[in-house]
Structure 1
């Protein structure tokens, strides 16, 4: 195992909250709440993802992305590694975005497989090769068929794993057989990262190094206990945490992500629950059910 690989593995091992973006009532970025969120999530975070899909990157402007990234750099309470979300269905637009961002102090980008276009596997491959060639920092792939309407097959991931600037994948297909195929055939240096909170323990048994998580926003300590115990091989304790999170997990997505996470954070006085259209804040019914589960399972 090379020294460089050991350093990379350490940097991206453990829990990474895919940070939400707090908004004020007028839907401008709430910097005070963002600073509070950074302190809150740092209780369990090993690194941060800024402006991933959970951060509502689809509705933030270029200027806002620049300001949010700069703010996180300046208010990073434990000086944790930072990953910046830079994906899209227009390859050249992603490359242009990378050129517009100050990526100094950023350790990698997280780039989701193209949505809506439904490209072929070869199209997905060429898309990521172009981005990796252009990116000044390493690239973590993101496969999330539930949002993109296409699955990046293990074969395509393994081809991309040969690229010197592609270091891993956030795998959120929910297909453990696909994850097994990646683990069985990947280069040693290539990192498998869970993209599904509830499958994280299972993926760690296959060799995943951790998770990029939604629930680590509102519940960083419980989630960190789960992941860190799993990485130590203590699945009895890891599953105790998992079973605490299990009943509330579906509520995080019932009205789309990050609606549930923002509502849980509102109930913990971290931020407001405002989201940008076409999303809407949590309904009263969802809010009450989240509050009930938080109380029932001691998740505060």
Structure 2
């Protein structure tokens, strides 16, 4: 269920920072039409850090409603409070999410044993699948492969989104990964390398802008069609890199706005993409044959 190109969906907003649910419906349709394999609602790219609890739950509910079981919906429900993560995850489960994506606790820097107990407690409070998410560059917390291996034995912990770009980390995870535990890339620029090292796909920022190409690239990679996969990856490499020219999701929200799918709204403390970087993102879209 959880493989291929999975989009880390942006949350469209009006100019004053309110969630635009009409545009959200359009984004869900855009991804289904363009073969995105699954949707992540309210991850980092969905501005989870600045949505309040009511909005957080409502965006997840609306994505589930709009998708209407046509593709899996993975709810971003991580927190640096275990109790809060359980609450968010149980609500997403009740609303019909197919899985929860849980980032490692940020800022409070738990030990490896603390990470294990955190995820164990959440998994045991749920019936739906749990996907771990390790992104040390954001959280100042690195979940080591040994901890992931321990967690992989818990029945409903089914995979990890790993944002380390070092393929050795992926190989270490692949040593114990099975058909029941999947490795997903958390970095578009190295997503194909993750697939080649044993991963099953990516949770992608680039897929917001080029969903069909991302789906095809990962499908070719998984099928061993390296030439076709590499050709698409080269076309997309400008997006992979330059959608991070400022903090995510600033550049990708600009790019999706350029596609005509939503306004420029974003929530403080983030601001719309600065003028000096707009040409860089425009050029990356052109290199990917995206005409706007």
User: Under a length normalisation based on structure 1, what TM-score does the superposition of the two structures give?
Assistant: 0.92
- What are the equivalent positions in structure 2 for 1:20-169 lying under 5 Å apart? 20-42=10-32, 43-76=34-67, 79-101=70-92, 103-169=94-160
- TM-fit CA distance, 1:104: 4.0
Kindly indicate whether residue 254 of structure 2 is the aligned counterpart of residue 263 of structure 1.
yes
Indicate if the aligned counterparts of 1:180 and 1:206 stay in contact, CA closer than 8 A.
Answer: yes
Number of aligned residues: 290
What secondary structure does 2:45 align onto? Answer: helix
Indicate if the aligned counterparts of 1:161 and 1:187 stay in contact, CA closer than 8 A.
Answer: no
Indicate if the aligned counterparts of 2:61 and 2:95 stay in contact, CA closer than 8 A.
Answer: no
**C-alpha distance in structure 2 between counterparts of 1:299 and 1:217, whole Å:** 12
* Structure 1: 4+ residue segments shifted above 4 A: none
CA deviation map 1:217-274 (0-9, x unaligned): 1111121121111111111110111111112322211211111111111111011222
Change (3 A) 1:297 1:48: closer
Indicate if the aligned counterparts of 1:116 and 1:148 stay in contact, CA closer than 8 A.
Answer: yes
- TM-fit CA distance, 1:66: 2.2
- TM-fit CA distance, 1:146: 0.8
- Work out which of the residue numbers 222, 225, 237 in structure 2 matches 1:231: 222
- Mean Cα deviation higher: 39-48 or 228-237: 39-48
**C-alpha distance in structure 1 between counterparts of 2:99 and 2:92, whole Å:** 13
- Mean Cα deviation higher: 64-73 or 94-103: 94-103
**C-alpha distance in structure 2 between counterparts of 1:101 and 1:184, whole Å:** 31
Q: Which residue of 1 aligns with 2:185?
A: 194
- What are the equivalent positions in structure 2 for 1:3-18 lying under 5 Å apart? 11-18=1-8
- Work out which of the residue numbers 182, 185, 188 in structure 1 matches 2:176: 185
- TM-fit CA distance, 1:82: 0.8
**C-alpha distance in structure 1 between counterparts of 2:211 and 2:193, whole Å:** 19
Indicate if the aligned counterparts of 2:206 and 2:239 stay in contact, CA closer than 8 A.
Answer: no
**C-alpha distance in structure 1 between counterparts of 2:169 and 2:281, whole Å:** 32
What secondary structure does 1:40 align onto? Answer: helix
Indicate if the aligned counterparts of 2:93 and 2:126 stay in contact, CA closer than 8 A.
Answer: no
**C-alpha distance in structure 1 between counterparts of 2:69 and 2:61, whole Å:** 16
What secondary structure does 1:170 align onto? Answer: strand
Segments of structure 2 that go 5 or more residues without pairing to the other structure are: none
Q: Which residue of 1 aligns with 2:270?
A: 279
Indicate if the aligned counterparts of 2:81 and 2:105 stay in contact, CA closer than 8 A.
Answer: yes
Segments of structure 1 that go 5 or more residues without pairing to the other structure are: 1-10
- TM-fit CA distance, 1:63: 1.4
- TM-fit CA distance, 1:187: 4.6
CA deviation map 1:152-178 (0-9, x unaligned): 111111010011120110111112111
**C-alpha distance in structure 2 between counterparts of 1:268 and 1:77, whole Å:** 24
- TM-fit CA distance, 1:102: 5.3
Change (3 A) 1:192 1:153: same
User: Under a length normalisation based on structure 2, what TM-score does the superposition of the two structures give?
Assistant: 0.95
What secondary structure does 1:53 align onto? Answer: coil
What secondary structure does 1:75 align onto? Answer: helix
